[in-house]
A and B are shown apart, each in its own frame.
Chain A
Amino acid sequence: MFKIQLRRYSLLIVLIGLFVYFSIVAPGFSSLRNIFAIVRTASLLGMLSLAYSTMVILGDFDMSFTANAAFTSVVTALLIGKAAFPLWIAFLVGFLSALIIAFINSFVAINIKMPSFLATLGMKGVLDGTARWLTNGANYFYPFWPKGFLFARIYLIKVIPLPAIIFIIIAIILGIILEFSILGRHFYAVGGSPSASTHTGINVSKNRRKGFIINGILCGITGIVGVSLLGSAATQMYDKFMLMGFTACFMGAIFLKDGIPNIWGTMVASLILGVLTNGFVFLGISQGAQEIIQGIALVGSIMIVILMRKSLKVLNLPVRV
């Protein structure tokens, strides 16, 4: 019994262990300033991972979540910088663009019945290309952001970065909905077996669409917080977040639920990945080596899930298992 409990909370232990390790071997790692940096990165990564995880729970596989957030950042930045939109309207339009993209994704996946993996992959191509075209391939930086644009750089109570608060609030709300509410239970049912859900009176299409919308909302928020935090529409950052988002979701499946993707696990795994990336920079590990380790982390997490559940069916991967 204790062994099972230990296994369920192992990710937390890993998180604490990694933090302690890096604190010891990398001077300056546990400085307040660095912890802020970790938390800021982990917040953006975390919100995107939550967006992705929500859809995985429903059995859909989203390849466009980072592109969606990046696009929101670009749209918001350009509306202010090039089109002189008022601040809050630019934010609103940016956020709405994420929602519209989510709706389009849901239409193609649910109404046209294309596998969500392919539908969102196509969308990612469109978004990446459009963003590149609009910014001429560079990070769009505007030197005269209006007052209030950089709101994401605020510290509440002088110590806590605003993005972290946004992330934690969103994660708690999403966690309560998906893990404790009847809607969340329906989400898990749809992901577990769409056929059994239909026979139990659960509307599969409606629930999947809700998942797409939640995904869109989270991507929109991340895009706005991201452009505000960085002061520019940094699309490369979002690219890196994609593989890390996958990893956070599947690594998170180890936490608490014996291999089933869940919100709390994704939270903890995002923090772990945030600590890891930051720690690697401190240790001077090259970009290439970082990517190798991240790849190993992804595959390793999935292997652990196989050991836990003896099959991959619960991960809802878009492959025949």
Chain B
Amino acid sequence: MFNKAPILVLENITKKFPGVIALSEVNLKIEENEVHGIVGENGAGKSTLCNIVTGIYQDYSGDIFFCGNKVNFNHPSEALKIGISMVYQERNLVPDLTGMQNICLGDEITNKYGFIKDDENNKKILKIQEEIHVNVRMDIPIQCLSASQKQMIEILRALYRKPKLLILDEPTASLSQEDIKGLFTLIKKMKTQGVSVVFISHKIEEVLENCDKISILRNGKKISTHNASELDYSTCVKEMVNRDITSRYPPVSPSNNGKTILEVKDFSDKDSLIKNINLYVNEGEVVGLYGLVGAGRTEFLETVDCIREKGSGFLYYYGKNINKINNTKEMMDLGIYMVPENRAENGIFENFNIKQNISIGNLINLLKKYFGIVDLRKELIYAKKVADSQELTIKYSDISQFTDELSGGNKQKIIIGRWILQENLKLLLLDEPTQGIDVGTKYELYVLMRKFVENNKCGIIFSSSEMPEIVGICDRIYVFRNRTISKEIKNRNDFNLDSILSYAL
């Protein structure tokens, strides 16, 4: 057997930014027809590495060899031309154009006068669609498509250029369970057609299951490359974080008949995005909401917190009917606080620094005696107390710095930190708090959540689409399906991954 040259070889890649070494002497080999997973905490260097391989960064030391030839990109278009394509974590599509137009964007087949030949473009795409069995409408503006469908369009867009190497950055973050299965089938198909795939993800189980080889990055260095068959979860995590995490989740002490904080009966919202919800949360419990994207969890939490208008049904707080409350501020006065999903849009204030992002939730207690003036000294003390607290340990260099350069995990900690020291805190509503966060920070959040409910007679409603963490740290689970609750699982002993999934589909 003649061993073909590896598709991609990285030799001693080093990339420095002012004040930080993002990558240090990274060596990597991707073979032909290989699915290669890359894992690492936030800040490990995964994005930087991809930016170098796709030609976005041209200023680095070390060598890149593609199909045996040394390459030096002056522009990302050069990387695209020779066959390196990437699908990013965030969508890069034009909302008003159709799927087909987005897929061909920049590479349309035209006649000699420059007019786009729609038929030819369509044919080319249909061919790709057939080969990989992807079913998504390409004739409507993509803003009408769901998150999963948009992702499919992006993947088609990458495949349209017939790449030899396809890099996928967190491709399953916003996909439903079905679509995730579809994606991995697609990746297997691409393998058989001579495309090598680099797969970056925080979901270690997915990486272990679907990749041939796995490389682990930590602090800008490549720690190791393993055959996926020889790598297990705990070794992988250990190498990623360099600490022994003996278990993924902190121990769960079941609650001892705490009082019922919140009870929801036959609850619906005004626009019927949720129907007939019945659930309750007791002191000392983390109650999980599990469901697929679109099942109604976020709509439910937003209606409870008065961001959406209530419809019919009842809401009780420690037995008292609170239906009449119709604004978020009054919910906060009761002690109910929400951490919304999508922290970039709904959580972080870009024009505030870290200190102000934390204090905005508690300004009323940080004022001087008269005239409603903010006491800057009190604010600083409070913000530092939150940021440096043992539960949160937010990593920052200066509390007066802006948040742009913080990692996703630190941003999430800031938003949670807004509420964590509120004196009247009784119930936290967390909507997908661990999305896009690395393993180490996730663990810190799990510890925080358990500690919070077990020590403070408080409760948490925790909404997530990641089954392992729901099963890992919740006392009870409500499964959402089709805008209502399909099942309540009352006992940790009854947590069964397959049956929970079946209730969600």
A interface list, Cβ under 8 A from B: 176, 180-183, 185-186, 188-189, 191-193, 195-203, 258, 260, 309-310, 313-314
Contacts and interface: CB of A to CB of B under 8 A. Distances in A.
The 5 closest A-B pairs by CB, nearest first: A192-B351, A201-B329, A192-B349, A201-B328, A314-B351
A310 B349 CA distance: 16
7 contacts: A182-B364, A188-B349, A196-B345, A199-B305, A200-B418, A201-B332, A202-B360
Given A185-B374, A188-B352, 12 more contacts: A176-B371, A181-B374, A182-B372, A188-B351, A199-B338, A199-B346, A199-B347, A201-B328, A201-B331, A203-B327, A309-B402, A310-B404
B311 interface: no
Given A182-B374, A189-B360, A310-B404, A198 B418 contact: no
Contacts of B329: 201-203
Interface string B390-420: 0000000000001010000000000000100
A6 to B, nearest CB: 17
B307 interface: yes
B348 A200 contact: no
A98 B431 CA distance: 44
Contacts, number: 77
B367 A182 contact: yes
Contacts of B404: 310
A3 to B, nearest CB: 14
A185 B328 CA distance: 18
Contacts of A260: 351
Nearest to A183: B372
B388 interface: no
B356 interface: yes
Given A182-B372, A201-B332, A203-B327, A196 B307 contact: no
B40 to A, nearest CB: 25
Contacts of B331: 201
B433 interface: no
Contact of A195 (B332, B345, B367): B345
B363 A182 contact: yes
A198 B328 contact: yes
B76 interface: no
Interface string B312-356: 000000000000000111011000001010000111111110001
Contacts of A202: 329, 360
A185 B356 contact: yes
B83 interface: no
A193 B338 contact: no
Interface of B: 305, 307, 327-329, 331-332, 338, 340, 345-352, 356, 360-361, 363-364, 367, 371-374, 402, 404, 418
A64 B352 CA distance: 28
Given A195-B345, A199-B328, A201-B332, A185 B351 contact: no
Contact of B307 (A180, A192, A199, A309): A199
Contacts of B373: 176, 180-182
Question: Which among B307, B331, B361, B373 has the greatest number of chain A C-beta atoms within 10 A?
Answer: B373
A196 B327 contact: no
Nearest to B328: A201
A192 B374 contact: no
A185 B350 contact: no
Contacts of A186: 363
Nearest to A180: B373
Contacts of B402: 258, 309
Contacts of B340: 195-196, 199
Contacts of A176: 371, 373
Given A180-B373, A192-B352, A201-B329, A185 B347 contact: no
B440 to A, nearest CB: 26
B218 to A, nearest CB: 28
A286 B462 CA distance: 66
Contacts of B356: 185
Contacts of A310: 404
A176 B368 CA distance: 13
Contacts of A199: 305, 307, 328, 338, 340, 346-347
A185 B349 contact: no
A84 B327 CA distance: 49
Nearest to A259: B351
Contacts of B360: 185, 189, 200, 202
A202 B307 CA distance: 11
A198 B371 contact: no
Contacts of A189: 349, 352, 360
Nearest to A193: B349
Contacts of B351: 188, 191-192, 260, 313-314
Contacts of A180: 373-374
A193 B364 contact: no
Nearest to B331: A201
A313 B372 contact: no
A180 B305 CA distance: 29
Contacts of B349: 188-189, 192-193, 196-197
Contacts of B371: 176, 181
A181 B372 contact: yes
A187 B480 CA distance: 37
B116 to A, nearest CB: 25
Given A180-B374, A181-B372, A310-B404, A196 B367 contact: no
A297 B184 CA distance: 55
A314 B328 CA distance: 25
Given A185-B360, A200-B418, A193 B328 contact: no
A200 B372 contact: no
B372 A193 contact: no
Q: Which of A180, A201, A310 has the most CB of B within 10 A?
A: A201
Nearest to A181: B372
A91 B380 CA distance: 46
A180 B351 CA distance: 15
B402 to A, nearest CB: 8
Contacts of A198: 307, 328
Contacts of B338: 199
Interface centre among B360, B372, B373, B374 (most CB of A within 10 A): B360
Contacts of B328: 198-201
Quick one: which of B307, B329, B363, B371 has the most chain A CB within 10 A? Answer: B363
A188 B347 CA distance: 14
A196 B361 contact: no
